[in-house]
Structure 1
Amino acid sequence: MSLLDDCNRAVFNVRQPHIDYLLGLGATPEAIATLGYRQPPFGVERIDVDDAGRWWPEPEGKPALIVPVFERGEMIDIVAFRSSASARWWWRIGCGSILGADLLNDVWPIGPLRIVSTPLQWLCEGGNAVCILDWSCPDYELSPMRDREALACDSPMLAARLRKRLSQPRKVPPISVMTGGARDAA
């Protein structure tokens, strides 16, 4: 099975009661439609999970919401979470670091970049925000945030965590100077 197959199956599983439930959690029809214009907005799947943070379809598993993770217009992973505990999620293959990653490279941003705590909140925002899925991702994935004029987080806890992560010094590799064919350490 491919990511696309997994995503399509989950999207196909969505029924009106799922949409109504999501609306009851704070999503608006406009948010779902806005996200659906750019990508499959969400799906529903019965899953099982492991301790490494991965999920897989399991007919006898517990139901979860499924959200594809896109980067540069390509699906790179799928996250699953339970609406009752949306602060915990699992990856299908473990490649997706950021929901809304393409917003980080927006050349003409309007207003502050919105950062949300969970994939559920990201879905409720219609994908018009960023959700950091993997806080141990490489620095270069988060570095575009340093260049933004303003960041707006959905909670003080998220703001503190983001401030701490973005304040960490950037790693600098050893630098040497080439002189006369010999390497001299700088």
Structure 2
Amino acid sequence: MTSGVDLAALMDSIAHIDAMAIDHLKALGVTGSAIAEINIATRHPAIGVVDAEPVGNGLFQIGAGPRHLVQPITVDGEIIDLVAWRSLRPDDWRLLRGVGWALGEDQLNAARSWTDQPPPMMLRTPLDFLRAAGSGFVVTDWSAPAVRSLIDFEAIDVADRALGDVLLNTISKPLRLPRVNVRRRRDELAS
């Protein structure tokens, strides 16, 4: 169980990446300046490396399995979750706690607050988030109820048409509404 784990301390402990990981990130198009920009903006390490394995339901656990790159998901400057992915499959990621629905959620919140901002940029993968120096956001859990909050934006820029289609299909699904029954309380009926 990871609910009691200090994610900021954990991220600090895994952020000391070796030369092999740095070379690998460079080969994937991630620059040192992009990492530095994310570090400064979030006040947390942008990337770490950890051994991890999938445990189902889109989650991972630390301590066994192959090396994964790990990024923090922050809200209001606090790390709420970690997203882990393999460099060979940057489009296949897992969350540590399952509560972080978007990498870059703080930027989305800022864009909601300031109407003079350009539309937020939706990126496809956590790797794309690194390449873009943290400018944009990635939906890390398409089943999260918070994804529907994206409907509040006048516009959202997307990295490609297929991603835009996924977004529109997800947020335009009808909501399941409960049946509402009007019943009198028993104490009202007794009087």
In the superposition, the TM-score normalised over structure 1's length comes to: 0.82
Name which of 101, 111, 129 aligns with 1:97.
101
AA at the equivalent of 2:95: W
Q: 1:64-96: per-residue Cα shift (whole Å, max 9, x none)?
A: 100011112111111110010011111112111
Q: 1:105-151: per-residue Cα shift (whole Å, max 9, x none)?
A: 2222532210011111112111111100111111xx23443333321
Name which of 29, 44, 62 aligns with 1:26.
29
C-alpha spacing 1:104/1:41, structure 2 compared with 1 (3 Å)? same
- Runs of 5+ consecutive residues of structure 1 not aligned to the other structure: none
Name which of 16, 19, 31 aligns with 1:16.
19
In the superposition, the TM-score normalised over structure 2's length comes to: 0.80
Name which of 111, 133, 152 aligns with 2:157.
152
Q: Does 1:110 align with 2:113?
A: no
Contact 1:104-1:144 at 8 Å conserved across structures: no
Equivalent residue for 2:133? 126
- After superposition, where does 1:51-70 map in structure 2 within 5 Å? 51-58=56-63, 61-70=65-74
Contact 1:105-1:144 at 8 Å conserved across structures: no
Distance in structure 1 (CA, Å) of the matches to 2:22 and 2:94: 21
User: Which deviates the most, 20-29 or 92-101?
Assistant: 20-29
Contact 2:101-2:147 at 8 Å conserved across structures: no
- Runs of 5+ consecutive residues of structure 2 not aligned to the other structure: 183-187
Equivalent residue for 1:50? 55
Distance in structure 2 (CA, Å) of the matches to 1:68 and 1:57: 14
Overall identity of the aligned pairs, in %? 30
Aligned Cα root-mean-square deviation (Å): 2.3
Q: 4+ runs of 1 displaced by more than 6 Å?
A: 173-177
Distance in structure 2 (CA, Å) of the matches to 1:167 and 1:42: 33
Name which of 41, 54, 63 aligns with 2:46.
41
Equivalent residue for 1:79? 83
